[in-house]
Structure 1
Amino acid sequence: MTQILIIEDEVPAGQYLTQLIQRINPKAEILDILESVELAVDWLSSNPIPDLIFLDVQLGDGTCFQIFEQISISCPVIFTTAHDEYAMRAFKLNSIDYLLKPIRQESLKFALDKYYQLNEENAITKIKYLEELMHSQILQRKNPRRSFLVPFRDKLIPLKDTDIAWLTIRNSVVVATLHDDRNFVIDKNLEELENQLDAASFFRANRQFIIARESISEIELYFNGRLLVRTLPVSANQILISKERVPVFKKWFEELS
């Protein structure tokens, strides 16, 4: 099942595109139809990245390129527009195709076929790359960070890495949840912490979570080839491992100690 996000400010156009996509691929799941730059940035900041985005160039509150200026989009994009003036700029991004409105079914099918072909060809390469990257990072991290000083009221509280169950982003700051369910703000971003923490004990689950091995209580098979990780203490938000990262997660969980 392909999870697709549509960003389109004209409601009839979004509904029409949905019908065309599902006519071509009935198993495609349309996650949402968003009408503005602001809604798109909010959605992409708080949800797992979709498999594919259909992105209208001209939106009600600006152009789609303003989304790329505010947030990183790593999945493939198919641009849609009534004009071709932005074509060159679009192709500099991770674009699969550039469809002119009114979108014809044969043009859409060609774009989707291109996406599926590229996705299949890259799947094995991506998995191998992630595995090699993970082991490379582990070898380089000879002196992982073992402690933090975190602010609490008018004090600085020492935390050990072994105290941490997971780290996540809340209201644009990183919060560490401890095994006893206390929460502390850490003055680092997840990328910095991912590079500093012990890779044998911590795993970057997705853009929003780094989880500790010791906090994992259960791993559940989830739709679209993903995994749902359950932790103790229980996380209020789902912790999902993407289909592409599942082999790396399994290797990390089973082999590293």
Structure 2
Amino acid sequence: MTNILIIEDEVPAANYLKGLLQQMDPQANVVGMLESVEMAIAWLQSNALPDLVFMDVQLGDGTCFEIFEQVSIGCPVIFTTAHDQYAMRAFKFNSIDYLLKPIRPELLRFSMDKYYQLNKENTTAKVRVLEEIVHSQILNKKNARRSFLVPYRDKLIPLKALDFAWLTIQNGIVTAMLHDDRSFILDKSLEELENQLDTSNFFRANRQFIISRDCIKDIELYFNGRLLMRVYPVSTNLILVSKERVPTFKKWFEETP
């Protein structure tokens, strides 16, 4: 079933579009027909995002572009209008097509075919990514080291991987900081440790740091789109996640058990 939202200030035009959609696809479920910018903002703020939005450009209380200034619309949008002057502006948003009124059934069919193809490609890509993540996590858990023997003076200190709060490299020396505030120098590179530690518990924040999930106390929004990790035990050096790595970090932190 495809959940579709129609934003159109002309009721006959909205009903006509709804009828065409239901004729073309019995699985098309029109979840709402809204007549204004104000109604659209209120609806989008209080309801789950639909699969697809049909959006008239010129509404009774403004243009549809004002909606994007108030809410985030992450689903595909097909714009409809009696004028083509907004076409270039429309494609700056999530537009997959731009239909001129009166809407011709064959052009609507073409637009819907574009949506179905895009949705199919996105679904396939998402499944592939999820499969790769699950596969890598299974391999990582299977091969992850649970314990280390760390040289310390004239002894070998047994440490569990879960004892590590964070690990860092400074001046070519790798140091492991434990949750109990002890620290040890390791005879391994940060790259070796990254490959040996369980990625469900450890994340490579940047070239200098690997951090554990449990050491993170809070996260500060830093300039240039980066994140600043506040950890315990405290690090005297800033632990920053680059703007490019932020989506990967969020996915790791929120979704990994």
Write the letter of the residue equivalent to 1:54: F
Q: Using the TM superposition, name which of 53-62 and 39-48 deviates more.
A: 39-48
Change (3 A) 1:138 1:59: farther
TM-score, L = length of structure 1: 0.55
Change (3 A) 1:57 1:198: closer
Moved over 6 A (4+): 131-138, 145-148, 195-198
Q: CA RMSD in A?
A: 3.0
Residue 212 of structure 2 corresponds to residue 142 of structure 1: yes
**Is the radius of gyration larger for structure 1 or structure 2?**
2
Shift of 1:73: 0.7
- The higher relative CO (CA closer than 8 Å, separation ≥ 6) is in 1
Structure 2: distance between partners of 1:7 and 1:137: 43
Equivalent pair of 1:77/1:95 in contact (CA under 8 Å): yes
TM-score, L = length of structure 2: 0.55
User: In the TM superposition, what are the counterparts of 1:8-157 in structure 2 within 5 Å?
Assistant: 8-129=8-129, 139-140=202-203, 142-144=212-214
Change (3 A) 1:142 1:114: same
Equivalent pair of 2:201/2:213 in contact (CA under 8 Å): no
Match of 1:218 in 2: none
Match of 2:3 in 1: 3
Report the 3-state secondary structure (helix = DSSP H, G, I; strand = E; otherwise coil) of the residue aligned with 2:212: coil
Equivalent pair of 1:82/1:101 in contact (CA under 8 Å): yes
Change (3 A) 1:10 1:74: same
Write the letter of the residue equivalent to 1:66: E
Equivalent pair of 1:35/1:59 in contact (CA under 8 Å): yes
Structure 1: distance between partners of 2:37 and 2:201: 38
Structure 1: distance between partners of 2:14 and 2:202: 48
User: In the TM superposition, what are the counterparts of 1:148-227 in structure 2 within 5 Å?
Assistant: 199=253, 203=255
Change (3 A) 1:131 1:68: farther
Question: Any unmatched runs of 5+ in structure 2?
Answer: 138-198, 204-210, 219-245
Matched residue pairs, number?
Answer: 159
Report the 3-state secondary structure (helix = DSSP H, G, I; strand = E; otherwise coil) of the residue aligned with 1:48: coil
Percentage of matched positions with identical amino acids: 58
Shift of 1:46: 1.3
Alpha-carbon deviations, 1:151-205, whole Å to 9, x = none? xxxxxxxxxxxxxxxxxxxxxxxxxxxxxxxxxxxxxxxxx9xx68994xx55xx
Change (3 A) 1:37 1:23: same
Shift of 1:100: 0.2
Question: Any unmatched runs of 5+ in structure 1?
Answer: 149-191, 204-251
Report the 3-state secondary structure (helix = DSSP H, G, I; strand = E; otherwise coil) of the residue aligned with 1:49: coil
